[in-house]
Amino acid sequence: MASERQIHVGGVPIGGGAPVAVQTMTKTETANLQATMDQIHRVAEAGADIVRCAVPREQDVEALKTIVRESPIPIIADIHFNHTLALKALDAGAHCVRINPGNIGGPDKVAEVIAKAKEKDTPIRVGVNSGSLPKHLRDLEYSDPVEALVRAATETVELMERLDFTNFKISMKSTSVPNTIHSNRRLAERIPYPLHLGVTEAGTKWSGSLKSAVGLGTLLADGIGDTIRISLSTFHAEEEVKVAWEILKALKLRERGPVLIACPTCGRLQFDMDSVVAEVERRLEAYEDPIEVSILGCAVNGIGEARHADFGITGAKDMGMIYSKGEPLKKVATESLVDELFAEIDRYYAAGKTV
Ligand code: SF4
């Protein structure tokens, strides 16, 4: 159940059946223009549709003017505590501003920000977080943390509607994967506005990716969620973008670049498959098409898998087989498998074919 409503962050549609948008957040000091722009270019290249920058100081909002002008993708200004910075970010041309109505200084300040957003025709992301729920929901938070999150979110939606403002998306973040899943399911039934999904403070690259894949993947598989951000404790924001894309690709919600299928190996393996997989993965980065390549350690599943993939390798002790769309192409020496595979892929494209 994708959201009924659609908003636009810059040129990127969110909700209303649009493709699930990938976003991330820069990890640089926003005022450090060079470092911030470098990171924005890297995340855009990795496939981010939108990027958010923290704006906690005057110098950040100053830098925002240049960033908005020069960024290849829309910019969301992330503001907490200081509604004046939100007003200035809107004046600086931010494509969206993220505020948490619970910490921006009270209803009057929220109303001021919304009035400015209307004047600028700029969308707002409103968010609630399990770590900063309003005081009147504290008791409920202990007895029913999911309902407390949903209640905080619906109260925020009601506030926006009282201000006659519908150009917003909403996020409801929790560090708990089950609470993220249950609260977003419940909220999606109650409101028509686009949902931003994320598991907050998910953790390191390894555990954070898995928590996000389980939490966000479950919701996305139900059709819930219009934009996603993977939060990882890494300085390289592009890693978050890659994980987001892997989740969307795994669910076949969006396509971007090649898909590599590889067996887990077992005692039947008789060649150095680790190196073959690493080398194929590295070389596939140069291709933009959603070409599917399977690498199987032996003939047990190899032939069957190769039938589904655009290209496939089945390895063996000395000789391996290369397949294309289910047809065996040739038998080659194991040490030439990767070179021969890419020669076949390039021949395929040179003949003007596409996947
Ligand atoms: Fe083992 Fe062969 Fe299956 Fe790979 S394809 S896991 S090597 S049986």
Say which residues have a Cβ less than 8 Å from residue 355's Cβ, sequence separation at least 6: 289, 290, 291, 292, 310
Model pLDDT, residue 321: 92
Residue 181, pLDDT > 80, answer: yes
| pLDDT above 70: percentage of residues in the chain | 97
Please tell us whether the domain made up of 6-250 is placed in CATH 3.20.20.20: yes
**Coil, strand or helix at 173:** strand
Q: pLDDT tens digits for 281-329?
A: 999 989 989 999 999 998 776 667 666 789 999 988 889 999 998 888 9
Pocket of ligand 1 contains residue 264 by CB under 6 Å: yes
Q: How many helices (H) and strands (E) does the chain have?
A: 12, 15
pTM across the whole model: 0.90
Pocket of ligand 1 contains residue 317 by CB under 6 Å: no
Kindly provide the residue ranges of all beta strands, DSSP E only, lying in the chain, ordered along the sequence: 6-9, 12-15, 21-25, 50-54, 75-78, 96-99, 124-129, 168-173, 195-197, 227-229, 259-262, 292-296, 311-314, 319-324, 327-333
How long is the chain? Answer: 355
Model pLDDT, residue 131: 82
Q: Which two tokens stand for residue 299?
A: 């003939």
Query: Could you tell me the distance, in angstroms and rounded to a whole number, from the CA of residue 25 to the centre of ligand 1?
Result: 39
Q: Which two tokens stand for residue 47?
A: 């496939």
**Residue predicted with more confidence, 1 or 75:** 75
**Which residue from 273, 296, 303, 323 has its CB within 8 A of the most atoms of ligand 1, so it is best to mutate?**
296
For the chain, the average pLDDT equals 93
**Residue predicted with more confidence, 224 or 106:** 224
Q: Considering only CA atoms, which residue is closest to atom 2 of ligand 1?
A: 298
Contact 27, 235 (CB under 8 A): yes
Model pLDDT, residue 306: 65
Average pLDDT over residues 100-129: 92
Q: Do domains 6-250 and 259-350 have the same CATH topology?
A: no
Chain mean position to CA 129: 19
ipTM over 0.85 threshold: yes
Residue 268, pLDDT > 70, answer: yes
List helix spans (H) across 285-326: 299-308
Say which residues have a Cβ less than 8 Å from residue 75's Cβ, sequence separation at least 6: 10, 40, 50, 51, 52, 53, 64, 67, 68, 94, 95, 96
Distance, CA of 58 to CA of 85 (rounded, Å): 7
**Atom of ligand 1 lying closest to residue 296 CA:** 5
Distance, CA of 293 to CA of 188 (rounded, Å): 36
Q: Which two tokens stand for residue 202?
A: 């998910």
In three state form, how does the secondary structure of 182-239 look? HHHHHHHHHCCCCEEECECCCCCHHHHHHHHHHHHHHHHHCCCCCEEECCCCCCCHHH
Q: Which two tokens stand for residue 308?
A: 């589904």
Please tell us whether the domain made up of 259-350 is placed in CATH 3.30.420.10: no
Domain locations in the chain as residue ranges:
6-250, 259-350
Contact 115, 69 (CB under 8 A): no
Beta bridge partners of 53: 77
Pocket of ligand 1 contains residue 278 by CB under 6 Å: no
Model pLDDT, residue 355: 65
Residue 130, pLDDT > 70, answer: yes
